[in-house]
A = this chain, B = another copy of it.
Amino acid sequence: MLNLTSQQIKVFDVIKNHLTINGYPPTRAEIAKTLNFKSVNAAESHIKALVKKGVIEKVPGSSRGIRLVEDLAGIPLIGSVAAGLPITAVENVEKNIPNPLNKHVDFFLRVKGQSMIDAGILEDDLVGVKKSSNAENGQIVVARIEDEVTLKRFKKDGNKVNLIAENKNFKDLLIDESMDLTIEGIAVGIVRENLN
C-alpha cells in the first residue's frame, strides 16, 4: 500500500469500512458524502487513482463494482525469509490467510526450529506478527540479527538486550554492540494448521 496520498488513503479506508460494515462496496455518492466532497466526481477521480496504483479493482458499468486487491488476499504468510530482503517482500510471501486473531496482524511467520516449545510455540506454527521496531520486556519478538530472523522472548537489562529461547536446551542470546539487531515485530498470536 505504498505511494498513496493521505486523501487516497482516506478514500481507501472509506471503501474498506463500508465493506466490513455493510458487506458491499460504497457508491461514488456514498464515498463523497462520507468525506464531505461536494461532487461525486471527486470520489470517481480518487477511485481511478487507486486503480492506477493497484490497490483496488474496478468493474466498469457495474454499480458498487469495487474490489480491494489487498483484501481478497488476506494477510501474507511468510514461509522463510531470504537473506537481504525485507521480511514482507513479495518474494517471501508463501500465501495469504484470513486473520482470526482479534488484533491487528501485519503478517504471519512460519516458525522454524524448536526454540520456543516451552512457550507452546512449535515448529511450523504460524505466528501473527504486528510490525514494531521496539519491544517491551517479556514480549515475544521477531528479531533480525545480521541476516537471520528469529523468534525469541525480549528482555532488556539496562542497555543490554537479551533474546531468550523458551527451551532448556537452548542458551540465551546476549546482544552486544557489534551485532546488528533489528526488532521486526511483536508476536500477538498463533495459528497451527497441523496437529499430530
A2-16 near B? 1/0 per residue, CB < 8 Å? 000000000000000
Taking CB atoms and an 8 Å cut-off, the chain A residues in 130-148 that contact chain B are: 138-140
Residues of B within 8 A of A140 (CB): 195
Taking CB atoms and an 8 Å cut-off, the chain A residues in 1-40 that contact chain B are: 19, 22-25, 27
With A24-B64, A120-B120 given, is the CB distance from A101 to B195 under 8 Å? no
Q: What copy number does this chain have within its complex? A: 2
Residues of B within 8 A of A122 (CB): 120
- Neighbour of A100 across the interface among B71, B98, B102, B138, CB < 8 A: B98
In the complex, are the beta carbons of A191 and B193 less than 8 A apart?
no
Q: Which residues of A contact B (CB under 8 A)?
A: 19, 22-25, 27, 59, 63-68, 71-72, 97-103, 117, 119-122, 125-126, 138-140, 187-196
